[in-house]
Chain A
Amino acid sequence: MDKFEKLTGIAAPMPLVNIDTDMIIPKVFLKTIKRSGLGVNLFDEMRYDRQGNEIEDFVLNQPQYREAEILVAGDNFGCGSSREHAPWALKDFGIKAVVSTSFADIFYNNCFKNGILPIVLPQDAVDVLMKDAEKGSNARMTVDLEAQTVTTSDGEVFSFEVDSFKKHCLLNGLDDIGLSMEKAGSIDSFEQKAAQARPWV
């Protein structure tokens, strides 16, 4: 997995609340058996018309946001299905961090497995960052995972919380399957105990 340490980049504003996984990557694109190549279809139905032409007002189609690496979004981002295609598509497009007041649980976890940092901040902080993002490509925001801060283009700093284990994995690009397999001994002994306590399972 890719590491995430520190990033200074363009942030795109998406103030809409409840942006769901069907918006992030519509189901027609779930029929792949690969993880890559979904970036062109990120936000497909909002981004293109039926003929496949770009819809001009959509934020990621605007020249100043085409290279965005951060999204600042409305409440409850990523709600809906468990499809990991959502973070795969964000990542493939180039988004490495998403800021919102809250995220749906499964989406939040899926981000960490793919080197994307989801950042939860209170409404007033998100409001400030949204304003900053609206300034376009001259305003670059900085996300520092080690320090757990987001800094606006004007130098205003907001601190965020992140689980220490998730932070450790993301900073070091660790694959958690490998980490868990190191605990195979504990899993074996759990299975032996469980086989006695609940033999019907």
Chain B
Amino acid sequence: MSPKTLYDKIWDAHVVHEDANGTCLLYIDRHLVHEVTSPQAFEGLRMAGRKVRAPDKTIAVPDHNVPTTAGREDPKNMTEDSAIQVAALDTNAKEFGIHYYPVSDIRQGIVHIVGPEQGWTLPGMTVVCGDSHTATHGAFGALAHGIGTSEVEHVLATQTLIQKKSKNMKVEITGKLRPGVTAKDITLSVIGETGTAGGTGYVIEYCGEAIRDLSMEGRMTVCNMAIEGGARAGLIAPDEKTFEYVRGRPHAPKGAQWEAALAWWKTLYSDDDAHWDKVVTIKGEDIAPVVTWGTSPEDVLPITAAVPAPEDFEGGKVDAARRSLDYMGLEPGQKLTDIEIDTVFIGSCTNGRIEDLRAAAEILKGKKVKDGMRAMVVPGSGLVRAQAEEEGIADIFKQAGFEWRLAGCSMCLAMNPDQLSEGERCASTSNRNFEGRQGYKGRTHLVSPAMAAAAAVTGKLTDVRDLM
């Protein structure tokens, strides 16, 4: 048999039908659903008199819209349009008989955190969701990607997706990371290197010692932002750490099924002589704690650098950089560490897991948020929140002056009341620094949780290594 990549193996195991021109019908093992991109899909089913083909493989949770403050079970505490979307999900989940975690359930949280936490996401699966950050689940060696609402409807009706195979790209991070450097810095640095369109047309497999050394949480952070690099999906081959994470989760296989699953999972790696269409190699030692300065995730620089000038770029990027600097209110040549911050947001499906909260708390221990700043932690799920409370991390945040919120997407995309105001500048652990992403004319600098905590303490973008 010819050598295969991990992506090839998962793909081949899920092809239901292939047309002469290579268009495939791909079987979907898990379909995750949230309130924003699904109402029109369920409505479409209803209008066509169709059912959900595999309700037992379909999992829904409200996350994008929900407030993260107490009393949110009461729709009166939501804006009217948010309440309508959440109520639509409630109704659709019941009517179509799919798994559902309402806001009142402690297991509720960001869909990409809930899936792995509950053991819905397993190695070798195909996982889709009407959300681009579905790439997160690739950390388990699952082929996971975002889809649009028409495709959500297609998966609901047929449990398949019409797909053409992407190309294979390998991103290798060799060696060890230096102290203060985290998974977030890896993933941002890769995008800085390849650009936001560098992965377009590819599925990326991340590998190398620095990736192997990451925890499952860290691997999820890396894969989460594969989409920001333009890739359809990001993948990491499963290993003992993956199996350990999965073992015992509510929906993970048990007993003899566990053994059978494990035997297959252990075959899920790229063969030595597999073909790669593109390879990017970065030395782990070369990665520094990074921040974004502009309004595209590719606008990444080490925290020790200075704001670039538009003339430093070429082609269409010159104008884009000029527009970014204007939007961000920054001057070329300004040191990044001189940029003052108004708000710190720790959370999102990129960095809302327990390890992320631990990393931030480690920096915050015994320190205070700088006077006059707003600082907010939004755990990725109710269970992450409960664990952080048990570990005493919640107390560290609260004592430092952070708001300790309920789980949801929150200020990652600011569809709920957690928003930046005009000109407000935020160090955020989320994944997108687009114009208006965190609030109209809000200014976002993407950073790791440790760097966000450091910024909260000093009131400026800060090299976390100075506080370690």
Residues of A within 8 A of B (CB): 15-18, 20, 22-23, 26-28, 30-35, 45, 50, 74-76, 79-84, 87, 102-106, 109-110, 113-114, 163-165, 176-177, 180-181, 183-184, 186-187, 190-191, 194, 197-201
Identify the closest chain A residue to B233 (Cβ): A105
Task: Select B146's contact among A27, A106, A181, beta carbons within 8 Å.
Answer: A106
Task: Select A81's contact among B132, B200, B298, beta carbons within 8 Å.
Answer: B132
Q: Is the CB of A82 within 8 A of B196?
A: no
Identify the closest chain A residue to B149 (Cβ): A84
Interface centre among B17, B162, B264 (most CB of A within 10 A): B162
Task: Select B84's contact among A31, A82, A84, beta carbons within 8 Å.
Answer: A31
Identify the closest chain B residue to A110 (Cβ): B148
Q: Is the CB of B23 within 8 A of A177?
A: no
Size class of the contact patch on chain B: 35 or more
Q: Is the CB of B43 within 8 A of A33?
A: yes
Give chain A residues whose Cβ lies under 8 Å from the Cβ of B159: 187, 191
Give chain A nearest CB distance to B163 CB in angstroms: 9
Q: Is the CB of A33 within 8 A of B16?
A: no
Q: Is the CB of A33 within 8 A of B85?
A: yes
B269-293 vs A, Cβ < 8 Å mask (1 yes, 0 no):
0000000000000000000000000
Task: Select B16's contact among A26, A84, A187, beta carbons within 8 Å.
Answer: A187
Q: Is the CB of A177 within 8 A of B200?
A: no
A-B contact pairs, 6 of them (CB 8 A): A20-B432, A23-B436, A84-B148, A177-B153, A187-B25, A187-B158
Q: Is the CB of A105 within 8 A of B16?
A: no
Q: Is the CB of B37 within 8 A of A84?
A: yes
The A-contacting residues of B in range 235-283, CB under 8 angstroms, are 253, 257-258, 260-261, 264
Identify the closest chain B residue to A45 (Cβ): B436
Give chain B residues whose Cβ lies under 8 Å from the Cβ of A105: 200-201, 230-232
Tell me if B197 is interfacial: C-beta within 8 Å of chain A: yes
Identify the closest chain A residue to B254 (Cβ): A200
Identify the closest chain B residue to A18 (Cβ): B296
Task: Select B25's contact among A28, A164, A186, A194, beta carbons within 8 Å.
Answer: A186
Give chain A nearest CB distance to B19 CB in angstroms: 6
Q: Is the CB of B17 within 8 A of A45?
A: no
Q: Is the CB of A183 within 8 A of B25?
A: yes
Give chain A residues whose Cβ lies under 8 Å from the Cβ of B39: 33
Give chain A residues whose Cβ lies under 8 Å from the Cβ of B157: 177, 180-181
Q: Is the CB of B316 within 8 A of A74?
A: yes
Tell me if B320 is interfacial: C-beta within 8 Å of chain A: yes
Docked Cα-Cα span, A22 to B431, in Å, equals: 13
Docked Cα-Cα span, A33 to B86, in Å, equals: 10
Q: Is the CB of B29 within 8 A of A82?
A: no
Tell me if B131 is interfacial: C-beta within 8 Å of chain A: yes
Give chain B residues whose Cβ lies under 8 Å from the Cβ of A201: 29, 57, 122, 125
Q: Is the CB of A27 within 8 A of B164?
A: no
Q: Is the CB of A180 within 8 A of B21?
A: no
Q: Is the CB of A80 within 8 A of B434?
A: yes
Q: Is the CB of A35 within 8 A of B197?
A: no
Task: Select B164's contact among A22, A30, A163, A186, beta carbons within 8 Å.
Answer: A163
Give chain B residues whose Cβ lies under 8 Å from the Cβ of A164: 21
Q: Is the CB of B21 within 8 A of A165?
A: yes
Interface centre among A22, A75, A84, A165 (most CB of B within 10 A): A84
Q: Is the CB of A82 within 8 A of B147?
A: yes
Q: Is the CB of B323 within 8 A of A109?
A: no
Tell me if B455 is interfacial: C-beta within 8 Å of chain A: no
Task: Select B23's contact among A34, A50, A165, beta carbons within 8 Å.
Answer: A165
Q: Is the CB of B320 within 8 A of A18?
A: yes
Tell me if B154 is interfacial: C-beta within 8 Å of chain A: yes
Q: Is the CB of A104 within 8 A of B19?
A: no
Docked Cα-Cα span, A176 to B155, in Å, equals: 11
Give chain A nearest CB distance to B63 CB in angstroms: 13
Give chain B residues whose Cβ lies under 8 Å from the Cβ of A199: 257, 260
Docked Cα-Cα span, A178 to B352, in Å, equals: 39
Identify the closest chain B residue to A75 (Cβ): B316
Give chain A nearest CB distance to B412 CB in angstroms: 10
Tell me if B413 is interfacial: C-beta within 8 Å of chain A: yes
Q: 18 other contacts beyond A105-B232, A163-B23, A183-B17, with CB at 8 A cut-off?
A: A16-B319, A17-B317, A17-B319, A22-B432, A27-B437, A30-B36, A31-B36, A31-B65, A80-B434, A81-B132, A82-B146, A82-B148, A83-B36, A84-B40, A105-B201, A191-B159, A194-B27, A200-B257
Contact of A80 with B435 at beta-carbon distance under 8 Å, contacts A177-B158, A194-B27 already known:
no
Give chain B residues whose Cβ lies under 8 Å from the Cβ of A30: 36, 64, 415
Docked Cα-Cα span, A22 to B81, in Å, equals: 19
Give chain A nearest CB distance to B111 CB in angstroms: 12
Docked Cα-Cα span, A197 to B124, in Å, equals: 12
Identify the closest chain A residue to B298 (Cβ): A18
Tell me if B88 is interfacial: C-beta within 8 Å of chain A: yes
Give chain B nearest CB distance to A127 CB in angstroms: 10
B118-159 vs A, Cβ < 8 Å mask (1 yes, 0 no):
000010110000111000000000000111111101100111
Docked Cα-Cα span, A32 to B88, in Å, equals: 11
Give chain B residues whose Cβ lies under 8 Å from the Cβ of A103: 200
Docked Cα-Cα span, A113 to B85, in Å, equals: 23
Docked Cα-Cα span, A105 to B132, in Å, equals: 10
Give chain B residues whose Cβ lies under 8 Å from the Cβ of A45: 435-436, 440
Task: Select B197's contact among A79, A177, A184, beta carbons within 8 Å.
Answer: A79
Task: Select B200's contact among A104, A165, A181, A186, beta carbons within 8 Å.
Answer: A104
Docked Cα-Cα span, A34 to B44, in Å, equals: 10
Q: Is the CB of B197 within 8 A of A75?
A: yes
